[in-house]
Amino acid sequence: MKKRDKIIYWIAASWLGLGMISTGAVQLFRLKGNGPGSVDSMTHLGYPVYLVTILGVWKILGVVALLIPRFPLLKEWAYAGFFFIMSGAILSHIAVGDTVIEMFPSLLLLILTVVSWYFRTHSGTIVASRNIVLATQ
pLDDT for position 122: 73
Do the Cβ atoms of 1 and 122 come closer than 8 Å? no
In a domain, 128, yes or no: no
Whether residue 127 has pLDDT greater than 70: no
In a domain, 26, yes or no: yes
Residues of the domain holding 20: 3-118
Buried b vs exposed e over 65-94: b needs ≥16 C-beta within 10 Å?
bbeeeeeeebbbebbebbeebbeebbebbe
In a domain, 69, yes or no: yes
In a domain, 127, yes or no: no
pLDDT for position 36: 82
User: For the chain, how many structural domains are there in total?
Assistant: 1
In a domain, 17, yes or no: yes
Do the Cβ atoms of 24 and 60 come closer than 8 Å? yes
In a domain, 51, yes or no: yes
d(CA 125, CA 116): 18
Whether residue 34 has pLDDT greater than 90: no
In a domain, 136, yes or no: no
Instruction: Provide CB contacts within 8 A for 60, sequence distance 6+.
Output: 20, 21, 24, 25, 28
In a domain, 8, yes or no: yes
